[in-house]
Amino acid sequence: MFRTRSRLFVVGAALLVLVGACTTPSPPVPPPPPDLTEFHDQRIAFEPCGPFATTATDEKLFANKRLDCARVQVPVDYDNPGGARGQVAVLRIPASGNRIGSLFVNPGGPGGSGMNFVAAMAASKPLWTEGTLGQRFDVIGFDPRGVGASLPHLDCFTDAEDDERVTGLDSVLDQDSAAGEEQAREIVRRCAASAGGEDALTSVGTRETARDMDVLRAVLGDDELTYLGYSYGTELGGVYAEAFPEKVRALVLDGAISPGKTPIEMTIAQAAAGQESFTRLAQECAKAPDCPLGTDPARATERFQALTRPLADRPAPTTDGRGLSHADAVIAALAGMRAEALSPRFIKGLTELAAGRGDILLSLRDQITGREPDGRYNGTLDSFLAIRCMDWPRRTPAEQTDVLRRIREAAPVVDDGTPVEQSHHVCAAWPKPPSRTGPWLSGGADLPPTLTVSTTGDVATPHQAGVELAEALGGSLLTVEGDQHGVSLVGGNACIDDTVLAYLVELKTPPEGTRCVL
C-alpha cells in the first residue's frame, strides 16, 4: 500500500526527523483543573529499569544499577480526568550529592525517548552521574505519551514497512485521489488500533505532554520545574512555561524552534540550513584530493546528485540485502551533518557509494531513524507522526505540492530529479482537528530568567530561531560557534557546560553577547 523508497519523497520527513521539531500554531495551554489533585498526590515506587526496556539498546542501558524507574498515571483526556488513564514511564539518575531537585530532560523528536537518552548519558558522560549535574540533581528522563515505554503506545507500521519508507508530514501518499485518501485512512486505522482507540490516538499532542510534565513535577516533589530540552524539547519547554509560568524554576532550551514561524516556514528554513551545512562540509572536504564531492565546492551539490539520483531506481547494494535508496542517502547526509564527529563517516560513506556500495550511508540512515541492530525500529517515526498530526494544520493537496517544491528549491542537495507529485497530506484523515490554532508561544508569560543555547551552524534548527526564542521568552542567549545540533552537557565543551551549569545550579545567566566555540 505504501510507496517504496525508490519513489518516496522524504526530504521534509528527513528534516523533521533530524530536527525533531518545527514551530506550530497554538494558544497557551490552559491551567490544569482543580480535580487533578488525585494525580498530583499519587505515590510511585522506583524499581530496577530492566522491565521498562522496549528495545535491545534499552535492555543494555537499563541494566545500569545506578538507574531506577517508575510509572506515573495521567489522564488520557485532561478535560475528563475521571476517564481513561495513561502512563508516563520515568527513568532517574538519583543525585549523588547535595540535591537541589529534579532536572527533567527531553531529547527532541517529537518522539524521542527521554529514558533512553538519559540512560545513554549515564553510561557515557560522568558529568551526568558523579559530576556537578549528577551531584546536584535527580536527572529525570521520561517517555512522553505515545513514546517508548509510556501509554498510549503507538505502532503504525511494521518493521519491514519502515525499511521501505520513512513516514513524515511531507511523505508522499498516492497521487491518485481515491488511493491517497484510502492510504490516509489506513494510517489512522493502524495508529488508533495500537494506541487503544481514536481518543487515545488524538491525545498525544504537545499540549497534553506539557500537562503530563506538570503532573510528573508534582509527583516527584518539586515545587518548580527545572528543565533541559533539546530541539523539539525547546518547544515542549516553551509550551509548559506559558501554561505554568508560576511553576518554572529554570529552562535550558538548546537547538531552538522558532516561535514566530509557521510549520511550513520552519520546514523551508530547515531545508535551507541543511543546504548551507552541506556547502560548508563540501568546502572542507574539497581540501583533500580524494574528496568524493570533488575539489570544487561550487559543484559539490551536482556531484552529490550524480552519486545519489540513480539510487531512486537502482539502490546501491548493502551487506544486509536491503540496499541504499535515494531517500536513505538523503537522510544519511542530514544525519552526517548533525555533528562534526559524524562528518568523516558521511564522507567515507560517499566514497564507498562512489565505489558501488551503500553500507556506511545505510548505517547512518538507520541510526537517525531509530532502527535497532536486530532490525526492529524504536517507534520514533510513528510517534513523530501522531504527535505532529495533532500539533500542526493539515495541508490541502495543493499546499502539500507547494511545500515539496519549495523544499527542493531551498535544498537542491536532496532533489532526486523526479517531478513533484501532488498527494494527500499524511494527516488528512486524522479523526480530530489539530489542538493548536495560533502561534505556539505568545511571549506574554511572566517568567523567571531562561537560557537559550543556539549554534551558528546547526543543520536542523537554524541559529536565528534561537535568537527569536530567547527574545520571545525575555531570557538570555548563549551563542555557540560551530556545526552541531544539540551541544549542552553532551560534548565536554567547558565553555558551554560551565555556562549551562552555572545557570542550572546557581540560576546565574551569562552576560549579553556571550559566545562559545566548539
What residues are labeled active site? 231, 458, 485
DSSP symbol at 336: H
**Three-class secondary structure assignment of 172-225:** CCCCCHHHHHHHHHHHHHHHHHHHCCHHHHCCCCHHHHHHHHHHHHHHCCCCCE
Q: Could you tell me if 430 and 188 are in contact, meaning their C-beta atoms sit under 8 angstroms apart? A: yes
Q: Could you tell me if 414 and 408 are in contact, meaning their C-beta atoms sit under 8 angstroms apart? A: yes
Cα→Cα distances 479→14, 46, 314, 464, Å: 26, 38, 43, 10
Q: Could you tell me if 45 and 366 are in contact, meaning their C-beta atoms sit under 8 angstroms apart? A: no
Q: Please list, residue by residue across 79-100, b when 16 or more beta carbons sit within 10 angstroms of its beta carbon and e when fewer do.
A: eebeebebbbbbbbbebbeeeb
For residue 229, the SS3 value is strand
For residue 418, the SS3 value is coil
Cell triple for residue 206? 504537545
Q: Please list, residue by residue across 8-23, b when 16 or more beta carbons sit within 10 angstroms of its beta carbon and e when fewer do.
A: bbbbbbbbbbbbbbbb
Q: Which runs of E-coded beta strand occur in 247-377?
A: 248-254
398, amino acid identity? A
| Pairing status of strand 85-93 against strand 137-143 | antiparallel
Q: Could you tell me if 319 and 352 are in contact, meaning their C-beta atoms sit under 8 angstroms apart? A: no
CA–CA separation, 282 and 300 (whole Å): 6
279, amino acid identity? T
Q: How many CA atoms lie within 13 A of 253 on its CB side?
A: 36
CA–CA separation, 502 and 512 (whole Å): 15
Q: Could you tell me if 49 and 69 are in contact, meaning their C-beta atoms sit under 8 angstroms apart? A: yes
Q: Could you tell me if 446 and 248 are in contact, meaning their C-beta atoms sit under 8 angstroms apart? A: no
Cell triple for residue 123? 553510561
Closest CA to 252 of 449, 439, 465: 449
